Amino acid sequence: MEQSLAGKVAIVTGAGRGIGRAIALAYGAAGAKVAVVSRTPATVDAVAKEIRDAGGEAIGVACDVGKRDQVFAAVQQTVETFGGLNIVVNNAQGFGTEDSPQPSTVFVACEDTNEEEWEYTFRTGATASLWFMKAAFPHMKKAGYGRVINFASSSGQIGFEGNTCYNATKEAIRALSRTAAREWGQHGITVNIINPALETRAFDAWKSARPDFVEALKEKIPVRRLGDPVKDGGPLAVFIAGPGAGYITGQTFMLEGGMHTLP
């Protein structure tokens, strides 16, 4: 892979598996120094080792994105290790509640929304994204080069039934991203969103709960398949983080194989 991110420093959250891992590996291959961030020390260390074994530079940083002090500490550790910060990928997202976490969204009617789930989903989604952005901003501004990539979902765009907490935090993330894009562009910082339809651990859990729906979903996707985190997710994230995407900001990239063609 072309070293399009040589000399850049990146944080990728939720990078212990799935699309976060795929992006971290892609960034390492593209020359970035990568902080692999997730809750489990053994997992982040394993992914960081994969990057180093492939000739890249990486550290594992154990961090619960739902804890503000841990978010700011993760950014500080990254800056102290690599001397700066240019790229933040907010991919992590919690489901369920803090006391009873779930591997994917929990489908309930809007009127039955669990308010503890609402709080936890927002704290690990929109609020965690804001925390990482705030912590990273001064370092990106100083460098005159910043790329923030936040993860949302077309589920929020269309208001998918039974998904109130997830939909709300994902649309909040898009609003946060558009606002920061308009404010931070003058500093050489872009802020964009990826809405994915990829086969990940969370999606697998969703598929187990609703197998018929997921199989029917594939038939509605023009390319007739779900995306692959490595083949489809990594390359897009590398492009958005690179110098060739410096004139693109505040946009939602629909990484869905054409499933939705929303204006």
Q: Can you tell me the distance from the alpha carbon of 104 to that of 135, in angstroms, rounded to the nearest whole number?
A: 27
Q: What is the distance between the terminal CA atoms of the chain, rounded to a whole angstrom?
A: 33
| Residue 214, pLDDT above cutoff 80 | no
Tens of pLDDT, residue by residue over 119-167, are: 999 999 999 999 999 999 999 999 999 999 999 999 999 999 999 999 9
pLDDT single digits (tens) 83-101: 999 999 999 999 999 999 9
Instruction: Identify the pLDDT of residue 13.
Output: 98
Rounded CA gap, 88 and 37, in Å? 11
Contact (CB, 8 A) for 58 and 28 = yes
For residues 184, 174, 100 and 38, what is the CA-based torsion angle, rounded to 10 degrees? -40
Catalytic residues: 166
- Greatest mean pLDDT among 19-28, 99-108, 217-226 lies in 19-28
Q: How far is CA 53 from its chain centroid?
A: 24
User: With bands split at pLDDT 50, 70 and 90, how would you rate the model's confidence at 203?
Assistant: low
Q: Report d(CA 198, CA 18) in Å as an integer.
A: 9
Weakest-pLDDT range from 5-19, 95-109, 162-176 = 95-109
- The answer on pLDDT for 71 being more than 80 is yes
Residue 19: pLDDT over 70: yes
Share of the chain above pLDDT 90, in %: 87
**Interatomic CA distance for residues 192 and 197, integer angstroms:** 17
pLDDT computed for residue 210 by the predictor: 72
Distance CA 177, CA 231 (A): 25
Whether this model's pTM surpasses 0.75: yes
Contacts of 231 (CB under 8 A, 6+ apart): none
Rg of the chain (C-alpha set): 17
Asked whether residue 245 carries a pLDDT value surpassing 80, the answer given is: yes
Residue 200 has pLDDT above 80, yes or no: no
When mean pLDDT is compared across 36-50, 204-218, 220-234, 241-255, the lowest value belongs to 204-218
Q: What is the CATH number of domain 9-246?
A: 3.40.50.720
Grade residue 1 by pLDDT with cuts at 50, 70 and 90.
Answer: low
- Look up residue 103 and give its amino acid: P
* pLDDT score recorded for residue 48: 98
Nearest in space to 50 (alpha carbons), one of 65, 32, 31, 36 = 36
Q: Give residue 212's pLDDT.
A: 78
Instruction: Spell out the domain ranges in the chain.
Output: 9-246
Q: Which string of b and e fits 124-142 if b means at least 16 CB within 10 Å? A: bbbbbbbbbbebbbebbee
